[in-house]
Amino acid sequence: MTEITDVDAWEVLDSRGDPTVRVRVEAGDAAGTFTVPAGASTGAHEAVERRDGGDRYGGRGVREACAAVRDELAPVVAGRSVTDQAGIDEVLVDCDGTENLSRLGANAVLGVSGAVAHAAADATDRPLYAVLAPDAGPGDLPMPMINVLSGGLHAAADLPIQDFLAVPVGAETYPEALETVWAVRRAAGNRISADRRSAGNRSPSGDGDGDHPPPVADEGGFVPSVADADAAFELLVDAIRDAGYAPGDEVAIAVDVAATHFYDADRDRYALAGERLDRAAMVDRVAGWIDAHPICSVEDPLAEDDWDGWERLADRVGDRVQLLGDDLLATNADRLARARGAGAANAALIKPNQAGTITRTRRVLEASQDAGWAPVVSARSGETCDATIADLAIGLDAGQIKIGSLARSERLAKYNRLLGIARASDGGFAGGDALAPLD
């Protein structure tokens, strides 16, 4: 048994330049480090991260969360076997004493939980995905859904819809999937640059800016000069064709609507691109997108507590496309159970920092699989080069992963980790069969 001998935490900066928590756990000669991500598009039902407040870093410092790791969490895990992930996570949650981890902070608790998993991998001389896997062993390389266009809270743009993603459903291997979307993304960038040139936009030097890539958002997606969702869908379809692929058959589209962030609860209306849509009209709008475009997955098409809207949409299109709950489910077992009972979705986005521990994350992912739903392991908008979710997706056979675009080192670290695993392992590729609705 390798016992935990030391736990430390310190403040680092994420991909948006905001502070986040990094934790190192030592167990004899073994050690593991994990860095906690953070989201811009956060739901009300997520585990609660701890921020310092005050003037420093605009109130977003995490020194108090780091102190909580050192002063309160380290003593309760010291001396425990580093390979007892479930037992350690249980004492971490008990030490916090709240269901949503708001006392010490989910970023503090998850920091220790994730570092323990890495230390266990080092102590047992196994890759992290093997440590996280059940007795049956790790699963296939996941199908990536890759951000190409961004709006909403991820971009300073008029487009209210958060992300438009390419899903390489025709790819037969993980490397082929990346190559496919690289070509689509490049084609989309060329189209956006051409549109900017034709609109007369100029670079600061006075030269046309068409030779420069378009601006990118938090997760590396291009920011298009469109304010209408249909125009964004059409742009992406054109880019798929420009890249030499058949829209829908070889490359399909996923969309993260993030509807909670333009839902007006006081008026019970969706404020979408200058329109005020009631529930029925919003369901009609999303269904219309699905009818008109080669969409295979729709994430958060209704607000996080609009259960009636989710049920209506599921009844209408749930047998045709993946209805993916993020804010609706918040990687929370109770909300997943409610959604399952209501038939409100058929896929669950899995984010470790919404759950607060590796064990909670695992249980929600496995519960979604037990329900016959498709899990999708996901990064956040505020990331680092920590690639833990790549191992998590393979270890638990999630089948799908959502990291961001093929840009920025914090995104590429995870894609490249999967490439390394693909090279070193004999695992297969989940491919398009991983998308809901599952057979």
Residues whose CB is less than 8 angstroms from the CB of residue 51 and which lie 6 or more positions away in sequence, other chains included = 59, 60, 61, 62, 64, 65
Catalytic residue among 26, 49, 250, 351, which? Answer: 351
Question: CB–CB of 2/348 below 8 Å?
Answer: no
DSSP assignment of 352-408:
HHHHSSHHHHHHHHHHHHHTTPEEEEE--SB--S--HHHHHHHHTT--EEE---S-S
Question: CB–CB of 74/95 below 8 Å?
Answer: no
Distance CA 96, CA 119 (A): 22
Please return the burial class of 291, using the count of CB atoms within 10 Å of its CB with bins 0-12, 13-18 and 19+: exposed
Catalytic residue among 46, 49, 219, 383, which? Answer: 219
Quickly tell me which residue has 């961004």 as its tokens.
150
381 in a known ligand binding site: yes
Distance CA 256, CA 404 (A): 12
Residues whose CB is less than 8 angstroms from the CB of residue 2 and which lie 6 or more positions away in sequence, other chains included = 27, 28, 30, 81, 82, 83, 123
Distance CA 340, CA 332 (A): 12
Cis bond upstream, residue 214 (ω within 30): no
Phi, psi of 127 (to 5 degrees): -65, 155
Residue 46 DSSP class: S
238 in a known ligand binding site: no
Distance CA 159, CA 221 (A): 13
| Cα–Cα separations (whole angstroms), residue 291 to 35, 285, 296, 316 | 41, 10, 11, 11
Whether 414 is catalytic? no
414 in a known ligand binding site: no
380 in a known ligand binding site: yes
326 in a known ligand binding site: yes
15 in a known ligand binding site: no
How far the first Cα of the chain sits from its last, in Å, is 43
Cβ neighbours, 10 Å, residue 267:
10
Nearest CA to 108 among 36, 56, 19, 3?
36
Whether 304 is catalytic? no
Quickly tell me which residue has 């209306």 as its tokens.
269
| Cα–Cα separations (whole angstroms), residue 262 to 1, 163, 231, 348 | 51, 14, 19, 21
81 in a known ligand binding site: no
- Give all strands (DSSP E) within 162-239, no chain letters: 163-167
Residue 219 DSSP class: T
Residues in binding site: 162, 256, 299, 326, 351, 380-381, 402
Residues with a catalytic annotation lie at 219, 351
Q: Which residues line the annotated binding site for Mg(2+)?
A: 256, 299, 326
